[in-house]
Structure 1
Amino acid sequence: MNFDIKAVPSPSYVVEEQLLINNLQKMKTIIEQTGCKILLAQKGFSMFEVYPLIGEYLNGVTSSGLLEARLGHEEMGKEVHTYSPAFPEDEFDEILQYSDHLVFNSFAQWQRFKGRVQKSEKHIECGIRINPEYSEIRVDMYNPCFSHSRFGVTLADFMPDQLEGISGLHFHTMCEQNSDTLWRTIQVVDEKFGPYLKQMKWINFGGGHHITRADYDTATLIHSINFMKDKYGLDVYLEPGEAVALNTGFLVATVLDTLHNGMPIAILDTSASCHMPDVLEMPYRPEIIGAGLPNEKPYTYRLGGPTCLAGDVIGDYSFDAPLKSGDRLVFCDMAHYSMVKNNTFNGMNLPSIVLYTVKGETKIVKQFGYEDFKGRLS
């Protein structure tokens, strides 16, 4: 962390441009070494202020529907890939305008929209999402291949006679995993869907690749990509979201008050429920700069948000000195799945969005207020 925590609003998400560039450079190296294409998964990180920068390194974006497709088209202007478990009829024509690739979740969806794709004035590559029924994710909430999953076509339900117009297959089976998991998945996909890959132009490995993690095995990723390129002559796409912004951002918060109820408690101006919902959803405990585990340092506090939700608790942390009103705390790794998932429950304002540039400038990109809260209601 290089920025001055007193120079930014509280609460605020702060993305350091140099840290983002470091991640992008790692991905660009993979692109250069393999000829694959890497796309930003906007569901994880949609800070379009830095889309021009990301576009200098990556090949485009992936979208989960109309709004993300339009955002990627307008703000990055490169390839736009769109997948949805089911496309809405009334949005499909507009989705066509913004998309270069469409991935359909079922053959029924493909047949429903095939005619409209073929009548489009622009060429659109179309694919089918497959479910290889193999995943190493242990938590069902994040496992696209768990029992009775709504995502993708299994081998038993695959319809080879309906592949006319389909040029690629897509699978997404990973979450925050290393490339050894990808290689084992590739072998299952090859065994089950190999006969159909021979008819394809491209394959999309989906997301969940922790490419920018310190211990990530890039050699196995490169081997996995080259396996599909060499065996089937396919163009290979990857669509990481978290890995693009991993460890590039922070959430700066302020202590509003302290109290005692069986243990010291600090109430912050940020909320787990509203500003970092994955803390409650996954759940997980975010790191705070200078803080330790409970009882590791002399003063342990339970940190909570200012909402009325009893469970709006971030976690227990220890500090070198007692916390007091006005102290600032900095949560780490807060760029991904934060801005894209936050909310204004209980009238909570959204954290400001800040970019700390490579020139050392603190750029306040966006501040929110009453009109943003009111605008989501009626």
Structure 2
Amino acid sequence: MEVEVDETRLNQFTPEKGYYAINEKGHLAFDGADCVNLAREFGTPLYVVSERKIRENYQALVKAFTDVYQDTKIAYAYKANPLMAALQILNEEGALAEVISTGELFLADVVGVEGSRIILNGCNKDRKGIQLAIKLGALINVDSFQELKMVEEEAARMNMKARIGIRINPVVRTGTLSVWETALDESKFGIRLEKGLDAYRRAKKMKNVDIIGIQTHIGSQIENEKPYTVATTRIMDFVGSLKRELDITLQVVDMGGGIAVPFSYIDRPPLSAYVHAIADPFIEKREEYDLGDLTLVLEPGGSIIGTSVILLVTVGVVKREESGKKWAMADGGANINLRATQGWYVYQCFCCNKMTEPKKETINIAGPLCYAGDVLAYDRELPHLEEGDVLALLDCGAYTMAILNRYNSYPFPAVVMLQKGKLKVVKRREMVTDLFMGEELI
């Protein structure tokens, strides 16, 4: 199960003004910092985050949508990357927080997000999380009839009112990988469109809930804007039926996330295409059904954080087999970038200390784990690699740090952030003793 890529563009380095460049030493530079020096100073594996890029990506999304529909809010999807420093930056920028678990809800509170600016999603919310969301005044997007009852029970127990939306599945296929499709007929998420009126009818009778909105989410890494038009049209037609049949007027329509990370080797539509695919039918149906003031919410994650981060690893053992197969073993693999080894995301890979040297071989970049699938990159055209070379995987911000693991007892990597030319360690490298925290011998 792998994504299709343009091999020529995958192996081609394309400078990006202010971010990716080859410096006077012939080294890769990211946001002005020499990647070889970063590896030497902080060690590897190392995640490097650009504060400036996070802010620019967020601001670009806000401007693109609000230029077309002013009352649009962007909620950052914490699941993409819950690095606290990034969450803090996005809160400063004005982003809402889209969270899934009690842990992410707690994170949003810790970094200072106002409760009314938090959106709690998820298909299996626990009662403690529901209680905290009610206490904070977060918007709870109910995912099932059972959960609707749970929210009402907890709100009544607390003698409070819960602010709710309901996640509706409009049944839309996006054409991406099957694991990223979240609005199929057989999906585990949300309440089917044809049962939606019944869900809102029940909610309207409840004394301890305030019906605020509706939410949907059709998938991840969507490289075609057309499914958004279909989904938005179906959701807005449903919102119209809520007003007509149940006299329910909503305040919020949340169309979820899924805008693809703009990897340089894919033909992702321009941001404006996504904007119009969502905003145009939203505006048209809002006027058609006379829905009044409506806030449009989007929940992007990868498209904000994805291109803001690179991953640095160091080459150890290099094998060049008689069969012609070549392997360069790095000091990190599926433990620090699981998506790469699954083939779900494919990353550009370059040798930071040999950027001006000719590409002499096609080689696989593997991790150190006792797992045959622990391969970060297959068949990459690179200079002659040897022990000590520093490799960079570009655009590694989304769904990497969020799903770190300690297979083979490798500690988690450090994370440094570039802030206006200065460097700050925002997550320290784990020590071996951290691996056993919370455990006891018998």
User: What is the TM-score with the length of structure 1 in the denominator?
Assistant: 0.90
Which residue pairs with 2:5 in the alignment? none
Segments of structure 1 that go 5 or more residues without pairing to the other structure are none
Q: Distance in 2 between matches of 1:152 and 1:267?
A: 43
CA positional deviation for 1:120: 4.2
Which residue pairs with 2:355 in the alignment? none
RMSD: 2.5
Q: Distance in 2 between matches of 1:18 and 1:298?
A: 35
C-alpha change, 1:76 and 1:335, in structure 2 (3 Å) is farther
Bigger CA drift: 344-353 or 323-332? 344-353
1:31-50 matched pairs, under 5 angstroms: 32-33=66-67, 34-50=70-86
Tell me whether 1:253 sits opposite 2:313 in the alignment: yes
Which residue pairs with 1:12 in the alignment? 46
Per-residue Cα deviation, 1:252-307 (whole angstroms, up to 9, x for no partner): 01001111233221110011x2111112335332111369xxxx942111111111
CA positional deviation for 1:115: 3.2
C-alpha change, 1:221 and 1:128, in structure 2 (3 Å) is closer
Q: Quick one: which of 345, 348, 353 aligns to 2:415?
A: 353
Tell me whether 1:194 sits opposite 2:234 in the alignment: no
Q: Distance in 2 between matches of 1:190 and 1:340?
A: 33
Q: What percent identity do the matched residue pairs reach?
A: 20
Q: Which has the larger radius of gyration?
A: 2
Which residue pairs with 1:287 in the alignment? 348
Secondary structure at the aligned position of 1:255 is classed as strand
1:181-330 matched pairs, under 5 angstroms: 181-192=227-238, 194-196=240-242, 199=248, 200-210=250-260, 215-216=270-271, 217=273, 218-227=275-284, 229-230=286-287, 231=289, 232-233=291-292, 234-261=294-321, 262=323, 263-271=325-333, 273-289=334-350, 297-330=359-392
CA positional deviation for 1:75: 0.5
Q: Distance in 1 between matches of 2:369 and 2:103?
A: 29
Secondary structure at the aligned position of 1:306 is classed as coil
CA positional deviation for 1:374: 1.6
Q: Quick one: which of 172, 176, 191 aligns to 2:221?
A: 176
Q: How many residues align?
A: 372
Secondary structure at the aligned position of 2:363 is classed as strand
1:339-350 matched pairs, under 5 angstroms: 339-350=401-412
Instruction: Please say if residues 335 and 410 of structure 2, whose CA atoms lie closer than 8 Å, have aligned partners that are also in contact.
Output: yes
Secondary structure at the aligned position of 1:246 is classed as helix
Instruction: Please say if residues 229 and 236 of structure 1, whose CA atoms lie closer than 8 Å, have aligned partners that are also in contact.
Output: no
Secondary structure at the aligned position of 2:53 is classed as helix
Q: Distance in 2 between matches of 1:246 and 1:211?
A: 6
Instruction: Please say if residues 11 and 270 of structure 1, whose CA atoms lie closer than 8 Å, have aligned partners that are also in contact.
Output: yes
Q: Distance in 2 between matches of 1:109 and 1:316?
A: 44
C-alpha change, 1:111 and 1:94, in structure 2 (3 Å) is same
Secondary structure at the aligned position of 1:125 is classed as strand
Per-residue Cα deviation, 1:6-62 (whole angstroms, up to 9, x for no partner): 224211111112211210211231464321111110000211113332123233201
Q: Distance in 1 between matches of 2:81 and 2:106?
A: 15
Q: Quick one: which of 169, 175, 194 aligns to 1:137?
A: 175
Secondary structure at the aligned position of 1:274 is classed as coil
Which residue pairs with 1:150 in the alignment? 188
Q: Quick one: which of 156, 163, 174 aligns to 1:125?
A: 163
Bigger CA drift: 346-355 or 2-11? 2-11
Bigger CA drift: 173-182 or 323-332? 173-182
Q: Distance in 2 between matches of 1:269 and 1:18?
A: 28
C-alpha change, 1:156 and 1:72, in structure 2 (3 Å) is same
Segments of structure 2 that go 5 or more residues without pairing to the other structure are 1-29, 263-267, 353-357
Secondary structure at the aligned position of 2:219 is classed as coil
Instruction: Please say if residues 127 and 167 of structure 1, whose CA atoms lie closer than 8 Å, have aligned partners that are also in contact.
Output: yes
